[in-house]
A = this chain, B = another copy of it.
Amino acid sequence: MQTCNQDRLQNKITAFSHFGATPKGGITRLSLSKSALEARAEFCNRCKKLGMDIKTDDMGNIYATIKGTENLPAISMGSHIDSVVQGGNYDGILGVLTALEAAETIITEKIKTRHPITVIIWTNEEGARFDPAMMSSGVITGKFNRDDMMKVKDIKGISFGEALEASGYLGSASNRLSPSKQAAYLELHIEQGPVLEAEHKNIGILEGVVGMVNYEIHTVGQSDHAGTTPMKMRQDALHAASILICDLYDKLSKIDNELVFTFGRIISSPNVHTVIPDDVRFTLDARHKDPAIVQKVVDVIKNLPTEVVKCQVSSKELWARKTVNFHVPFVDIVEKNVNALGYTGKRMYSGPGHDAQFVADVLPTTMIFVPSIDGHSHCEEEKTDIADCYKGANVLLNTVLDIDKAI
């Protein structure tokens, strides 16, 4: 078995934690922001020093490639370097840095591979600056229209197109990932959940990404003065929303133990302490690998009453995705390497979305998870032990080498 260098990996994690560092030890590194461009520059410098060839495509995705011994499409691996506001030092960036560490090991250990090996940085995965998430892997796999994405603006009114143009990373569409140029895609990511830690597993062997639905539920009442309107005459849209959240929580809890659902966003209007709210919108995000379970959630939403405490209730689907299943031979190779390296693993589905789920539509793909301490992610406390990062890098490295031999 080949192994990476743990100290060198730690050096990478530490180096990149400075780009967009927050006072509490996390990072805010929005896509194509100054700190994200610093991180990109550092990545490119390190790749160039290793003798890798660097290309970018028309979404600013970066491809850093080691030549192979044969004229074959590349085996690619990577993730993203952008973060949410006050995020952590592992989400996305660890997938890039473990891929870079695996590549560095191949180069410094002079391991010959038949296929070229490519490390990829995906632009704007989080969608925290430019909505939607996974924008650039989405464009190149046909999920989103590039022209539409170019026009998406951040809260300061800067469009993605303007930010990309200014970044210096706007490349050619001919450099996009495609089956003619790539043969496989692997992505290591933190679990962003507590399951691996709770079950004392080193590695998540991903089988796919769970399907999900995201609905907005809307209650409409009447906005009146808090001090004058007798209780019997009120149409309080926040009271209605609170009743719905409690009821939905109870109903959805009974569907399946593995179903997760979240009321993540609530916007109440006019949101003034002396005025009865007349308009409340809240989101319901629900995820499960089994489409039949997801359908049960949809059925519950469809059967919501149309009126609660004299307020009108309606719902609409904001978006949804079907369950994505990864390439089974690759999943098996990951599991074989987990065992061969003496690590413990768990076959599982990803709850969050990842660029890999889009890439899976065009290339054989799989993912590797490493544990998140206390399950935290998208927060400054987000953390994975270096020992686990190192184990993940070793699984990634050996999986790349096995795929190189197998295909």
Contact = CB atoms under 8 A, between A and B. Distances in A.
Q: What is the size category of the interface that chain A forms with chain B?
A: 35 or more
Contacts of A242: 241-242, 245-246, 249, 263
Nearest to A224: B375
Nearest to A350: B227
Contacts of A194: 224, 228-230, 233
Contact of A226 (B226, B274, B351): B351
Contacts of A236: 262-263
B245 A192 contact: no
B230 A260 contact: yes
Most chain-B Cβ atoms within 10 A of its Cβ — which of A194, A261, A287, A350?
Answer: A194
A351 B261 CA distance: 40
A210 interface: yes
Contacts of A214: 273
Given A273-B283, A277-B264, A353 B227 contact: yes
B230 A195 contact: yes
Contacts of A150: none
A375 B277 CA distance: 15
Interface in A80-138: 84-85
A376 B241 CA distance: 22
Contacts of A274: 262, 264, 285, 352, 378
A231 B351 CA distance: 13
A265 interface: yes
A350 B227 CA distance: 8
Contacts of A375: 224-225, 228-229, 233
A167 to B, nearest CB: 25
Contact of A262 (B226, B233, B285): B226
Contact of A224 (B84, B226, B253, B376): B376
A45 B262 CA distance: 58
**Assembly stoichiometry (copies):** 2
A156 to B, nearest CB: 17
B245 A273 contact: no
Contacts of A275: 262, 264, 378
Given A192-B227, A227-B350, A245-B242, A273 B268 contact: no
A263 B241 CA distance: 12
A238 B260 contact: no
A407 interface: no
Contacts of A377: 224-225, 228
A223 interface: yes
A142 B333 CA distance: 77
Given A264-B274, A267-B271, A275-B378, 6 more contacts: A198-B233, A227-B352, A227-B353, A228-B375, A230-B258, A242-B263
Task: Please name the 10 residue pairs, one residue from A and one from B, whose CB atoms are nearest each other, closest first.
Answer: A193-B228, A227-B351, A226-B262, A242-B245, A273-B283, A227-B352, A228-B351, A264-B273, A242-B242, A192-B225
Interface of A: 84-85, 191-195, 198, 210, 212, 214, 222-231, 233, 236, 238-239, 241-243, 245-246, 249, 253, 257-268, 270-277, 283, 285, 287, 318, 350-353, 375-379
